[in-house]
């Protein structure tokens, strides 16, 4: 009870509710008893804390109301319905002239900017991500000094066509089906080149922009179907930290790289892909990502611009999904069968690579 | 300097939790913040959260006696939002390398630090209040938050007289203080 009486006194003292005489008495008590003094200080602080808390709660409430109110009036827009029509028309009448001027100025600026954009940008959608397709025009320019050598090889690209982009791809069926990234195939057709530099004509049979996957079929008479494919394509998800390696064509020669699986989702939580730590370069797009046993767990697709070694791979189970889509849309592909048995388990890396490299192709897309 | 006095009046209104002033500031600044956040990987909900957080920070600043805003309200709010959003992005692990900055910004680190400290204190108070249990919580809220008088409280809660209610209120308050300070001192 004493505590309560004391607390009551403290509170009345702080609120200035004490009569002068009592106040004087209490102040003397404060001076002579450090405990009471401490209680006053503490309680004062606590009451301030409570006041601030109350004010905070109130302002939050006001803000919430303001938001709702302004949203109803149409002053704010959260992507929902646009304010009523009547209002819009009034608004239009009021600002017709201003809008006309603004629109024409805006139009000019927009044209100018889109001109600039077309001029400078590549076809990458998100500036933070960089697709690893290669802009072959660029490569061509930088390799002009090799021109004489290149020209000696008779290319299978149609005479009038221009090379547009390049990447990697790999065989998923011995009959000549190759999977790669959709963004690699920028043009109207593609040729594929094996690790020994031999070119084959091919046709694009399926493109899934959403999964960023595409299937090509080698249509060349010179292609001898492989007996079997040494790797399998994994249906289940890979584990975090799993060691991985890849083979691709960032240049005209096949290039090996290794790293590890760093996250089970891709850029911005994209569940279609993994994040992997590997050094990837333009041209690696569409390259297979193997685990230690030589199972394919993904298709290398993009890397994060300005972050070293961070790349993303489309999960391998999406290959099953696109192949099923393809079979559904066209029964002539019914015989397409994905490899499910790996013969690479337990082999050392050099042997694995030598067995796999013939199945990884350099994809060059061209257009008219 | 018409704009200047106008802004001063708005800030004064904000400091007094005046809904007209708050709506005006809201209307003039929200869309800028919303488009900034939407353009930088955020959602509508996140834009609202961040903006209101910035408004609270400005409110706290406007309440201090030594308050002077050395820049436009717009610049201040944008600066706070920008900092808050960058921090949020980092916490969420949404890795962005660039946040576009079209607007001018001012240094707000100190204000934000003070604001965050207050937020921690409010969170402690919130937890303490919520772990009190009933009827303590409602009783204290009635007295300290809603500023109801003791007689009204006694009637509402069914105490026979105001003195009993007052006694109970003090008991509850002591428990609340204990809960609050145990957390608060750890926080320090």
Give me the interface pTM, i.e. the ipTM.
0.84
Predicted local distance difference test score (pLDDT) of residue B96: 52
Q: Are residues A109 and A198 in the same domain?
A: no
The answer to whether the CB of B85 falls within 8 A of the CB of B50 is: yes
Does residue A141 form part of some domain?
yes
Rg over alpha carbons for chain B, rounded to the nearest Å, is 21
CATH of the domain at A155: 2.40.10.120
SS3 state at B37: helix
Distance (Å, whole) CA A208 – CA A204: 11
A299 DSSP 8-state letter: E
In this structure, are residues A185 and A229 in contact, taking their beta carbons and an 8 Å threshold?
no
Beta strands A295-304; A232-233: pairing state: parallel
pLDDT at A143: 43
Q: Is the Cβ pair B30, A128 closer than 8 Å?
A: no
On whether both A236 and A166 belong to a single domain, the answer is yes
Q: Is residue A142 part of a domain?
A: yes
Q: Are residues A44 and A102 in the same domain?
A: no
Per-residue pLDDT of chain B (188 residues; tens, 9 = 90+): 445 678 888 888 888 888 888 989 898 899 889 988 888 878 888 899 999 999 998 898 888 877 777 788 888 889 889 888 888 887 776 555 555 555 567 778 888 888 888 888 888 888 888 888 888 888 888 888 778 888 888 888 888 888 888 888 888 888 888 888 887 776 54
Residue A34: the pLDDT is: 85
Judge if A303 and A322 occupy the same domain: yes
Out of A3, A8, A62, whose CB is closest to B17? A62
- Beta carbons of A4 and B170 less than 8 Å apart: yes
Residues A47 and A184 in one domain: no
Say if residue B135 is preceded by a cis peptide, omega within 30 of 0. yes
- Look at B17 and A46 and tell me if their CB atoms are within 8 Å: no
The predicted pLDDT at position B69 comes to 77
Q: In this complex, do B166 and A8 lie within 8 Å of one another by their Cβ atoms?
A: yes
- Whether A242 and A328 map to the same domain: the answer is yes
Residue A76, domain member (yes or no): no
Residues A231 and A349 occupy one common structural domain: yes
Neighbours of B175 (CB within 10 A): 16
What pLDDT is stored for residue B9 in this prediction? 84
> Which of B13, B20, B22 would you mutate first to test chain A, the one with the most A CBs within 10 A?
B22
**Contacting residues of A for B96, CB less than 8 Å apart:** 128
Residues A64 and A111 in one domain: no
Alpha-carbon span B168 to B139, nearest angstrom: 9
Domain assignment present for A73:
no
Q: Residue A113 sits in which domain range?
A: 86-121
Rounded Cα distance between A345 and A261, Å, is 19
The confidence score (pLDDT) of residue B187 equals 52
Is position A77 within any domain? no
**Is A178 a member of any domain?**
yes
B173 reaches A (C-beta below 8 A): yes
Domain match, A223 and A342 both: yes
Q: Identify the segments of chain A with pLDDT beneath 50.
A: 81-86, 122-124, 139-153
**Cβ of residue B4 closer than 8 Å to a chain A Cβ:** no
Pairwise CB contact (< 8 Å): A268 & B144: no
Q: What is the pLDDT of residue A82?
A: 45
Q: Are residues A8 and A142 in the same domain?
A: no
Give the model's pLDDT for residue A117: 66
- Local structure of residue B143 (DSSP, 8 states): I
pLDDT value of position A290 = 94
Q: Per the structure block, which two tokens stand in for A368?
A: 């008219």
In a shared domain, residues A272 and A176: yes
CA-wise closest residue to B108 among B149, B77, B72, B150: B77
pLDDT digits (tens, 9 = 90+) for A276-311: 998 877 788 899 999 998 899 999 988 877 677 888
Domains in chain A: how many in total?
3
Chain B residues whose beta carbon lies within 8 Å of the beta carbon of residue A52: 118, 121-122
Same domain, yes or no: A62 and A111: no
Q: Are β-strands A273-277 and A255-263 bridged in parallel, bridged antiparallel, or unpaired?
A: antiparallel
Asked if A63 lies within 8 A of B26 by C-beta distance, the reply is yes
pLDDT at residue number B93: 66
Q: What is the pLDDT of residue A191?
A: 87
Residue A368 located in a structural domain? yes
Q: Which residue of B has its CA nearest to A308?
A: B97
């Amino acid at each position: 009870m004493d505590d309560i009486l004391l607390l009551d006194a403290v509170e009345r003292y702080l609120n200035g509710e004490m009569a002068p005489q009592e106040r004087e008495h209490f102040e003397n008590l404060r001076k002579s008893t450090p405990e009471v003094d401490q209680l006053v200080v503490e309680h004062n602080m606590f009451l301030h804390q409570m006041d601030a808390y109350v004010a905070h709660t109130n302002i939050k409430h006001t803000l919430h109301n303001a938001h709702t109110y302004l949203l109803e009036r149409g002053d704010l827009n959260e992507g929902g319905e646009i304010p009523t029509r009547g209002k819009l028309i009034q608004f239009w009448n009021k600002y017709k002239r201003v809008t006309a001027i603004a629109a024409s100025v805006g139009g000019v600026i927009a044209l100018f900017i889109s001109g600039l954009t077309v001029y400078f940008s590549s076809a990458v959608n998100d500036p933070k991500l960089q697709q690893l397709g290669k802009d072959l025009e660029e490569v061509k320019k930088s390799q002009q000094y090799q021109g004489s050598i290149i020209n000696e090889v008779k290319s299978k690209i149609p005479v009038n066509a221009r090379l547009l982009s390049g990447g990697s791809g790999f065989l998923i069926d011995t009959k000549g089906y190759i999977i790669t990234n959709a963004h690699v195939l920028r043009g109207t057709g593609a040729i594929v080149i094996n690790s020994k530099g031999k070119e084959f004509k091919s046709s694009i049979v399926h493109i899934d922009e959403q999964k960023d996957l595409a299937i090509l079929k080698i249509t060349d008479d010179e292609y001898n179907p492989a007996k079997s494919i040494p790797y399998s394509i994994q249906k289940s998800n890979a584990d975090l930290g799993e060691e991985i390696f890849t083979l691709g064509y960032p240049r005209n020669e096949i290039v090996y790289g290794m790293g590890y699986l760093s996250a089970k989702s891709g850029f911005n939580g994209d569940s279609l892909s993994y994040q992997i730590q590997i050094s990837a370069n333009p041209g690696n797009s569409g390259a297979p990502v193997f685990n230690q046993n030589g199972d394919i767990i993904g298709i290398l697709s993009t890397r994060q611009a300005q972050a070293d070694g961070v790349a993303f791979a489309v999960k391998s189970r999406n290959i099953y999904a696109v192949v099923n889509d393809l079979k559904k849309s066209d029964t002539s592909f019914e015989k397409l069968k994905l490899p499910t048995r790996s013969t690479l388990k337990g082999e050392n890396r050099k042997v694995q690579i030598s067995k796999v490299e013939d199945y990884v192709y350099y994809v060059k897309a061209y257009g008219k | 300097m018409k704009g200047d006095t106008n802004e001063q009046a708005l800030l004064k209104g904000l400091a007094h939790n005046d809904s007209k002033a708050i709506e005006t500031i809201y209307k003039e600044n929200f869309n800028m913040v919303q488009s900034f956040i939407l353009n930088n990987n955020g959602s509508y909900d996140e834009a609202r959260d961040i903006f209101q957080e910035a408004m609270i920070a400005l409110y706290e600043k406007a309440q201090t006696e030594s308050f002077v805003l050395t820049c436009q309200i717009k610049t201040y709010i944008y600066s706070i939002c920008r900092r808050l959003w960058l921090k949020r992005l980092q916490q969420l692990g949404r890795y962005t390398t660039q946040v576009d900055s079209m607007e001018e910004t001012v240094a707000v680190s100190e204000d934000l630090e003070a604001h965050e400290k207050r937020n921690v204190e409010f969170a402690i108070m919130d937890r303490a209040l919520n772990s009190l249990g009933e009827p303590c919580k409602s009783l204290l809220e009635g007295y300290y938050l809603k500023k109801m008088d003791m007689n009204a409280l006694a009637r509402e809660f069914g105490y026979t007289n105001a003195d009993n209610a007052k006694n109970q209120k003090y008991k509850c308050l002591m428990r609340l203080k204990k809960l609050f300070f145990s957390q608060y001192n750890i926080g320090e």
